[in-house]
Amino acid sequence: MLTIKHGYHHMILLTVTLGFACPTLAARLAISDAATGQPLENAVVEIFHGDMPPANDANQVIQREATFTPHVTLIPTGSQVSFPNRDTTRHHVFSFSPAKVFELELYLQETPPPITFDRPGVVVLGCNIHDHMRAFIIVSDAANMVLTGSDGTARFDELPTGTHRMRVWHPRLEDTHQQWWEGEIAPGESREVMLELQASPPPTPEPSRLQQRFRQALEQQES
C-alpha cells in the first residue's frame, strides 16, 4: 500500500471476486476510491492469458465543447482511432507519449485520416490550442480488457481456469505512463489493491511560444 502524501492524493480500493463456471472462470472486480467510498470510472483492467483480440478501426475521440470525448479510450494494439472536430473552433491534437507520437495540425470540420496505434502503452492526448484538453488512449495487448463504467465494476464472464496475470490503471495515477498495479488472480481469491491517485489535477503550465503562435493564428483566422 502506498502512502498518502500531503493530502493531495487518495487511495483506491480494488476488490476482486472470482468464481468457477466450468470450464471457464468468471471474475467481477469492484474498484473504488478508498478515501470516499465512491466507485471509480475509467479504470482499465487487463487480464493476460492468451492471444489479444483483433484490432478494430471504429474508434473515435471527438472534440466537442473544447473537450475530448471519451476521456479514456481502450483499444487492442493495432487499432485505428479518428479524431472528428465537432466544435466551431480549430484544434491541434498531439501526443508525445512513447507508445505513440503524432500530431494533427490545426483543423476544423474536416476529419484527418485515422491514426494507427501499433504499440501497447498509455497515450496522453493534448491540444496545442487549449491547454486544459486532455484524454487518454490505452493501447493493450491483453487477451481480456475492460474499462469500468460509473459503477466502478469490471466483469469478465469467460476466462480460462487457472491463475492469470492482471494489471490495473487509472487516469489519476501519479505517473500515468508507467504506474500500473500488477499481480495475479486465482480461483477463489479475494484481493484488495491500493494505488496512489492524484486528488486534483496539476496546475496548468504557462503556454509555450508555439502555443501562443497557434492561438494568435487562430484568432486572426476567426476574426
pLDDT (tens digit per residue) in 136-156? 999 999 999 999 999 888 888
pLDDT class of 219 with cuts at 50, 70, 90: low
Give tens-digit pLDDT for 54-70. 999 989 999 999 999 99
b/e per residue 149-167 (b: at least 16 CB within 10 A)? eeebbbebeebeeeebebb
Instruction: Give the burial class of 175: count Cβ atoms within 10 A of its Cβ; 0-12 exposed, 13-18 middle, 19 or more buried.
Output: exposed
Q: What is the DSSP letter of 143?
A: S
Closest CA to 39 of 116, 127, 151, 123: 151
Statement: residue 22 has pLDDT above 90: no
pLDDT value, residue 20: 44
pLDDT value, residue 215: 62
Q: How many helices (H) and strands (E) does the chain have?
A: 1, 18
CATH topology of domain 53-141: Immunoglobulin-like (2.60.40)
Mean pLDDT of the chain: 79
pLDDT value, residue 221: 58
